[in-house]
Structure formats: C-alpha cells, structure tokens
C-alpha cells in the first residue's frame, strides 16, 4: 500500500493541475479577449513584416480569469461592456478614447435589480468628496472592479471578511502612490500618520471598514456611498463603543449578521470576531452578570446588617 501512495499522490496533483488549466482554457475559449489578456505574453501576426511576433502584455491589462469567473459578471462576454471593435487586433487607438459603458447604463432604472437601488447609490455618490473633487472621471469602477466584483457584504456572515474586502478597495488607491496621484493630482497622505489620533490602529483597521467612519449613514441604503471629507470623519469613540453603537446602522445592518449576533449559544460568542463594545452582546451572560452583581450587593448588605445587630 505504501508503494502505491506516492504514484497516487503524483497522479492526483497532476489531475488537479490539468483541471485548473482546463478551467483557464474554458473561460478563454468563451471569452476570446482572454486568450491574450489572461497571459503575460501575447503572440500575433505582424502583417507588415509578415512574421509572428511575441511581446509582453502591459501588467495593467492582465486579468485574473478565476476571479472573473467567480464575479457577478462572470457569465458576460467582454464585448457586452467593451466595444465590439476590440475583437480585432491590433486594437484601433481611437477606441481607448471612447467613453466606456458605466454601471448605470445597464443597472439604472432596471426593475430586475431594484433592491440594489443603483439610482439612489448614484445620488449619494454625487454628494461625496470623490465626486466633488474629481467629478465624472471618478466612476463606480474606481472602487468596484467590474471584472472581479462580488457582493461580499451581502453574502458573507464573516465580519472580518467583509471588512478586509471593503478596506482593500479603499487602500487600492489610498495606499498606492501612483494611483492616488493620478486621481487626486497630489501625493497621497500616509494612512498611519493621518490616523495617529486613533488608539490601537491595527485592531481598528482589521475590524472596522473605512466607510464606517468616513460616510454619512443612510438607513434606506445597504451601504452608504456618500464619502465625507476627512474633517467630518467620526472621531468620538463613544459613537461606536456603546450599547447603541453607530455600527449597528452600518457594518451590522446586514440581516445575516444580525441573525448571528442575536442568536443564542456559546457558538455565537466564538463566531463573533468584532472588536466593538456594545455592538454584539450575549443576552444570557448579561443577565448572569446582573444577577451576580445583585448577589454581591445583597451579601454586603446582609453582612453590614449583622455587624450592626451584634453591636
């Protein structure tokens, strides 16, 4: 049996690699553009010199096929959003100057996705500091990558996963010197220095989304898109660290997280990874702590009474 173990292991690893490669092949077969845009090297026939030429793909245009397949737009073809003229290569240079399709071109006024309230989101976004400073050049795609986007906050029951996914969007620009400078026109501030007033920075960054402190909360929207100026950011600890935590109207407003936080059992406590005082409490333990406190006061009172009587 031991002699068979190694060959079987090698076979399984080889089979897994073949299946993974097959998944890449299938998506490239369905999306012709990915035959080039999923590779670091592109090969094409140069008709001027009559030879096949190889060149490196611009890293900014290399796409992750696995992430695309897992995204909300994974079933779409590239030309559903990009001009059909991109199917010929080399691409016409003028195509890059053409305005790209926006999210609202498809989702605006669409009753199929009415629960997402894309039109309301756009209204809130136009009040944000991003739109105020950058205007139309700052679109949905600046934060939400159309190729890889998936609604983590709506589908995940893991607070840490939601926070990490959301903050990675913000940091993809605010922690990227060249991208921030391209958007804002000046150097980006160092995140740690800007938040030097915040105690336990690392703990906060891991457990709270940037938007929980930097947006105007809207009850009628799942996620607020009105990003405030830095002067309006939440800096009062009590606004989050209390029983009526501000986060109940933002990070913890999702029904799947509420169901978990309001559940019972020791498992609920173990599942909770949040570092927020008052945001998640275990009702039974709260009652037990109150009973213990009352018994302590009762014991002190009885002891004091007996001492008085003996005197």
Q: What is the mean pLDDT of residues 1-21?
A: 52
What tokens were used for 237? 């600890």
Whether the per-residue pLDDT at 151 is higher than 70: the answer is yes
pLDDT in tens, 51-73: 888 889 888 888 988 888 888 88
Residue 128 pLDDT grade (very low, low, confident, very high; cuts 50, 70, 90): very high
Q: Which conformational region is residue 307 in: left (phi greater than 0), alpha (psi within -120 to 50 degrees), or beta?
A: alpha
| Predicted pLDDT of residue 102 | 80
Among candidates 202, 214, 287, 217, which has minimal Cα distance to 252? 217
Q: Which conformational region is residue 155 in: left (phi greater than 0), alpha (psi within -120 to 50 degrees), or beta?
A: alpha
| Predicted pLDDT of residue 21 | 41
Q: What is the mean pLDDT of residues 273-290?
A: 62
Report d(CA 167, CA 131) in Å as an integer.
19
Q: What is the mean pLDDT of residues 282-301?
A: 83
Residue 32 pLDDT grade (very low, low, confident, very high; cuts 50, 70, 90): confident
Do residues 210 and 198 touch, judged by C-beta distance below 8 A? Answer: no
Whether the per-residue pLDDT at 11 is higher than 80: the answer is no
> What ranges make up the beta strands (E) of the chain?
41-46, 51-56
Do residues 224 and 211 touch, judged by C-beta distance below 8 A? Answer: yes
Do residues 208 and 251 touch, judged by C-beta distance below 8 A? Answer: yes
Do residues 61 and 37 touch, judged by C-beta distance below 8 A? Answer: yes
Share of the chain above pLDDT 90, in %: 12
Residue 270 pLDDT grade (very low, low, confident, very high; cuts 50, 70, 90): very low
Among candidates 89, 109, 181, 100, which has minimal Cα distance to 141? 100
Helix ranges (H only) for 108-246 are 118-125, 129-134, 152-155, 159-174, 177-184, 191-194, 201-207, 210-214
pLDDT in tens, 185-226: 888 888 888 899 998 888 899 888 999 999 988 877 888 899
pLDDT in tens, 159-169: 888 899 999 99
Instruction: Tell me which DSSP letter residue 32 carries.
Output: T
Report d(CA 212, CA 218) in Å as an integer.
11
| Predicted pLDDT of residue 214 | 93
CB atoms within 10 A of CB 278: 14
If residue 195 lies in a helix (H) or strand (E), which one and from where to where?
A: none
Least confident span in 10-14, 33-37, 180-184, 302-306:
10-14
Classify 43 as helix, strand or coil: strand
Q: List, in sequence order, every residue forming a beta bridge with 41; answer none if it has no partner.
A: 56
Instruction: Tell me which DSSP letter residue 39 carries.
Output: S
Report d(CA 56, CA 39) in Å as an integer.
9
Among candidates 194, 193, 226, 196, which has minimal Cα distance to 211? 226
Q: What is the mean pLDDT of residues 105-132?
A: 87
Least confident span in 118-122, 223-227, 283-287, 300-304:
283-287
Report d(CA 138, CA 103) in Å as an integer.
13
Among candidates 195, 253, 198, which has minimal Cα distance to 223? 253
| Predicted pLDDT of residue 167 | 92
Whether the per-residue pLDDT at 109 is higher than 50: the answer is yes
Residue 130 pLDDT grade (very low, low, confident, very high; cuts 50, 70, 90): very high
| Predicted pLDDT of residue 228 | 92
Residue with tokens 């695309």: 68
């Amino acid at each position: 049996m031991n002699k068979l173990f190694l060959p079987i292991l090698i076979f399984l690893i080889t089979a897994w690699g073949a299946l993974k490669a097959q998944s890449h092949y299938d998506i490239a077969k369905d999306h012709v553009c990915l035959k080039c845009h999923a590779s670091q090297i592109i090969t094409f026939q140069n008709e001027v010199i009559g030879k096949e030429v190889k060149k490196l793909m611009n890293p900014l245009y290399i796409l992750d096929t696995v992430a695309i397949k897992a995204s909300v737009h994974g079933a779409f073809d590239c030309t559903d959003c990009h001009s059909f003229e991109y199917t010929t290569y080399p691409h016409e240079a003028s195509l890059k100057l053409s305005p790209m399709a926006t999210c609202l071109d498809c989702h605006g006024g669409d009753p199929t996705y009415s629960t997402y309230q894309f039109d309301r989101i756009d209204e809130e976004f136009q009040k944000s500091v991003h739109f105020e400073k950058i205007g139309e050049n700052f679109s949905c795609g600046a934060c939400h990558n159309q190729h890889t986007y998936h609604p983590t906050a709506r589908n995940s029951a893991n607070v840490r996963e939601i926070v990490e996914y959301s903050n990675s969007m913000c940091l993809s620009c605010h922690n990227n010197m060249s991208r921030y400078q391209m958007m804002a026109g000046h150097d980006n501030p160092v995140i740690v220095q800007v938040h030097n007033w915040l105690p336990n920075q690392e703990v906060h960054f891991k457990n709270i989304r940037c938007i929980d402190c930097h947006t105007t909360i809207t009850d009628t929207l799942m996620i607020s898109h009105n990003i405030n100026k830095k002067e309006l950011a939440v800096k009062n600890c009590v606004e989050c660290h209390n029983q009526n935590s501000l986060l109940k109207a933002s990070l913890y407003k999702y029904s799947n997280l509420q169901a978990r936080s309001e559940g019972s059992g020791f498992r609920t406590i173990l599942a909770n990874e949040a570092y927020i005082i008052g945001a998640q409490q275990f009702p039974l333990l709260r009652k037990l702590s109150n009973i213990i406190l009352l018994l302590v006061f009762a014991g002190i009172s009885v002891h004091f009474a007996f001492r008085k009587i003996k005197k």
